[in-house]
Amino acid sequence: MGKIALEELEFFAKHGVLTEEQIIGNRYRVDVEVEADLEKAARNDKVEDTVDYGHLYNIIKREIDIPAKLLEHLAGNILNGILAEIPKVDSAKVVLHKYNPPIGGVCKWSKITLERRRKV
């Protein structure tokens, strides 16, 4: 087993419960970590035996471009995409940050973490 991570991916998107958030948009940070069997890739140096970083990024980008009210929903959609489209992935973890959430005070970001394992 091994882990692959894409960290501090930044996006601008229009997520949120408030109408203003859906119109104005905000910055988001995504950290993703996946577990997969990387031993074959470690031995033979062939890209087809590992998780394609580009494919992983494209799933995240696709889902972040679809407006959602809740970060939990967005993170769940990212996990669903990863597990549906990349069979080598056994489990995935998504950490989603929303910069300057509208809470009425100073806050760098709100953050949620979701993890999911492939059902056997």
Stated pTM of the model? 0.93
Q: 97 CB contacts (<8 Å, ≥6 apart)? A: 28, 29, 30, 31, 109, 110, 111
Catalytic entry in 46, 93, 98, 108? 98
pLDDT, tens digit, 9 for 90 and up, residues 41-84: 999 999 999 999 999 999 999 999 999 999 999 999 999 999 99
**CATH number listed for the domain at residues 2-117:** 3.30.1130.10
Query: In the sheet that 89-99 helps form, which strands lie side by side, from edge to edge?
Result: 2-13, 26-36, 89-99, 109-117
Q: Sketch the domain layout of the chain as residue ranges.
A: 2-117
User: Across the chain, what does the average pLDDT equal?
Assistant: 95
- Tell me the pLDDT band of 90, cut-offs 50, 70 and 90: very high
Percentage of the chain lying above the pLDDT 70 cut: 100
**Alpha helix ranges (H) inside the chain:** 19-24, 39-44, 53-64, 71-85
Catalytic annotation present for 108: no
DSSP character at residue 87: T
- 53 phi and psi, to 5 degrees? -60, -40
Q: 71 CB contacts (<8 Å, ≥6 apart)? A: 15, 96, 98, 110, 112
- Tell me the pLDDT band of 119, cut-offs 50, 70 and 90: confident
Given a cut of 80, is residue 120 above it in pLDDT?
A: no
- Please state, in angstroms and rounded to a whole number, the distance separating the CA atoms of residues 11 and 21: 14
